[in-house]
Amino acid sequence: MPVADFKIYSKMLDNAYRKGFAYPAINITSMISANACLKAFSEKKCDGIIQVSTGGGEFASGLGRKDAAKGAIALAEYVHRAAEDYDVYVALHTDHCQAEKVDSFLIPLVEETEKRRAAGLPNLFQSHMFDGSALPLNDNMDIAVKLFERCAASEIILEVEAGVVGGEEDGVDTSDTPAEKLYTTPEDMLEVYRRLSEVKGGKYMFAATFGNVHGVYKPGNVKLTPKILKNGQDALREAHGDEAYFWLVFHGGSGSSQEEIQETLDYGVIKMNVDTDTQYAFTRPIVDQFFRNYDGVLKVEGEVGNKKFYDPRSYLKKAEQGMSDRVVQAVEDLKAGGNTLFGA
């Protein structure tokens, strides 16, 4: 599975928009979680998106470094190598990068791609996310436009966000955000389109918010309003014609009902982030092995334990399979199976 270039990635996103499905965008923190994604995408004949957050990159760099950019670079380089053995496309993306982390995370990654392109190599990442949702919209777009200009020059797709996704992810807690900030207005969406249209030749994705929340909550605790996405798309077409539309991104999708997911696909969602559910799917088989084989995992009461249970490979293989199974479910939920452009 070769990593998609700009032309193929753009076709992937437009294919999803035209056909009414979305790509699962799965956060990874290790080679093991990357392998889980590659396996699942290949099994379902589905192109997909693998992404790294600032926290994921920091973790991957190791406790001795905690360098988010270097960890993200290492994970991306691994995916480039591993993807060669599969038969669907994958794109590499970075998740939420807040304004205060742009210089330490996003810019070094853009620079890495610029160096690669100068040497005749393909882009390291195919898209990046700038999350300026905590800022006033004008300030958010001021930063986004500058980043978009630089990304467009290197054929990198930029994802932006207006409105705040609730909950907590990677240590960023927005649970105290006023309710009205959790919903992007049509006026906000039109302003995003106006500002980003200033950059010619670039392509972008837009994470509009409609009550979505990071994490998993009991049914009824999260009040999604997907019609907000429709209202924004309708306002855009009314103002700029039928050919104007957003490639929309659904953040905080873990735990959503199939009906809610389907409704967002009808309104132009082409990418849905899945992280919390895959974290649990990775961890659950490990817990099962430890609980079922307590005396083997630990050297209890002077015994020697059982190496086949405490060898990390024994439980991490199960973790990889558990996560892969959950990615397969995400592919099915998003109606992406069988939609690979590989070989087309």
Q: What is the DSSP letter of 56?
A: H
Active site residue 95: yes
- Contact, 324 vs 40, CB < 8 A? yes
Q: Write out the two tokens for 175.
A: 């649970």
The pLDDT of residue 167: 42
* Domain ranges within the chain, ordered by starting residue: 6-333
DSSP annotation string for 89-121: -EEEEE---BGGGIIIIIHHHHHHHHHHHHTTP
The pLDDT of residue 177: 45
Rg (CA), the chain: 20
∠268-55-46 over CA atoms, to 5°?
Answer: 40
Q: Is the pTM higher than 0.85?
A: yes
pLDDT per residue, tens digit, the chain (344 aa), is: 589 999 999 999 999 999 999 999 999 999 999 999 999 999 999 999 999 999 999 999 999 999 999 999 999 999 999 999 999 999 999 999 999 999 999 999 999 999 999 999 999 999 999 999 889 999 999 999 999 999 999 999 999 999 755 444 454 444 444 455 568 899 999 999 999 999 999 999 999 988 776 555 454 445 788 999 999 999 999 999 999 999 999 987 666 788 889 999 999 999 999 999 999 999 999 999 999 999 999 999 889 999 999 999 999 999 999 999 999 999 999 999 999 999 87
Superfamily of domain 6-333: Aldolase class I (3.20.20.70)
Choose the catalytic residue: 95, 131, 188, 275: 95
Amino acid at 285: P
- Contact, 88 vs 1, CB < 8 A? yes
The pLDDT of residue 179: 52
Q: What are phi and psi of 117, to 5 degrees?
A: -65, -40
Q: How far apart are CA 117 and CA 113, in angstroms?
A: 6
Which is nearest to 39 in space by CA: 328, 300, 336, 333?
328
Q: How far apart are CA 212 and CA 174, in angstroms?
A: 12
DSSP annotation string for 159-180: EEEES--BSEETTEE-TTS-GG
